[in-house]
Amino acid sequence: MERLADFNEVKSLVEQKLDSYFNGDGLEKAMKYSLMAGGKRIRPILTIKFCQAAGGKPEDGLVFGCGVEMLHTYSLIHDDLPCMDNDDLRRGKPTCHKVFGECVATLAGDALQASAFATILGEADNLAPNKKVAALYAAKTLAECVNEMGMCKGQYLDTVANGTTHTVNELVEINMNKTCALLRAACVIGVYAAMGHVDVDESCIAAAEEYADNLGLAFQIRDDILDALSTTEELGKPVGSDENNEKCTFMTLLGKDECERLVIDYTDKAKKSLLNGKWARNTEFLSGLADFLALRKY
């Protein structure tokens, strides 16, 4: 219960900060519609909690985390477009293109991506001259997570292979890019956020990357299970779309029992990877978060 209260406290902090962005009309209205449409805010929470584990304060990682969430929201808007998954519902609400039209939704996603970098780089103004490099490293990490070797590559591999059977290794490659990349950025950027204020051991970067990769695979496999077995009301988005689109997933290849086993296996690996970092504070929250995501129902 204490950990849940901590989760909700950090989530509330993130929600309040996100709500301070994009308060104009027109394009900003579409951007804010998707940015504030709900969600668990896992990525900015990871940024803040890795910042704390590395010795920083929650407020040190808050703006960096908001930048990560802006980029995540951009990816969701584009993922829902007719040219991609063509989904009508996201987080229990009509998707951006259903409310504002395809053109405005595309531009809202584009603008959120650019704003993500502007938000993170803008934090350099609040850092000491010898610490400004932390914001640059954070922005570089975010760029690499979304470029042709990151999230966009994963989406490309998933798109061009539509209708063909994957192997498990191919699915892992797709999701290491499509799902894990942004989680990896969120965790590593949290360490950089701490580096903007305190000295941090370099081992924390590698530990954050390993944690995120394993967490991301567990997260995606759980998503595949939920898409097959949950309901639209529970998830707040259409279910069964993978099957309807004849999409190859971990569930179609391995079945429920093996998928459940893999979720637990990757979750255990994520938790153990935290032991490889020389953290300034404990990582109990991060271990608990991995367990929570492994058992989630939405």
User: What pLDDT digit, counting tens, does each position of 230-249 carry?
Assistant: 766 666 556 656 655 667 89
Closest CA to 273 of 206, 179, 219, 202: 206
pLDDT of residue 50: 98
For residue 78, give its domain range: 2-294
- 149 residue type, one letter: M
Distance CA 210, CA 192 (A): 16
Asked if the model's pLDDT at residue 2 lies above 90, the reply is: no
pLDDT digits (tens, 9 = 90+) for 245-286: 667 899 999 999 999 999 999 999 999 999 999 999 999 999
Q: What is the DSSP letter of 274?
A: G
Query: Which residue has 């490659």 as its token pair?
Result: 173
pLDDT of residue 57: 97
Asked if the model's pLDDT at residue 205 lies above 70, the reply is: yes
3-state secondary structure of 163: coil
Q: How many residues are there in the chain?
A: 298
pLDDT digits (tens, 9 = 90+) for 151-173: 999 989 888 876 576 899 999 99
Asked if the model's pLDDT at residue 138 lies above 90, the reply is: yes
User: pTM for this one?
Assistant: 0.94
pLDDT of residue 113: 98
pLDDT band at 85; cut points 50, 70, 90 = confident
pLDDT of residue 297: 85
Percent of the chain with pLDDT over 90: 83
Task: Show the tokens assigned to 128.
Answer: 């000491």
- Phi and psi at residue 127, in whole multiples of 5°? -105, 155
3-state helix, strand, coil in the chain (%, to 5): 75, 0, 25
Distance CA 255, CA 61 (A): 39
Distance CA 124, CA 140 (A): 13
- What CATH number is given to the structural domain containing 193? 1.10.600.10
User: What are all long-range contacts of 40-45, with beta carbons under 8 Å and residues at least 24 apart?
Assistant: 40/11, 41/11, 41/14, 41/15, 41/69, 42/183, 42/186, 42/289, 42/293, 43/68, 43/69, 43/72, 43/182, 43/183, 43/186, 44/14, 44/68, 44/69, 44/186, 45/7, 45/10, 45/11, 45/14, 45/289
| Number of domain units in the chain | 1
| Residue 256 near residue 222 (C-beta atoms within 8 A) | no
Distance CA 23, CA 118 (A): 16
Closest CA to 151 of 78, 61, 226: 78
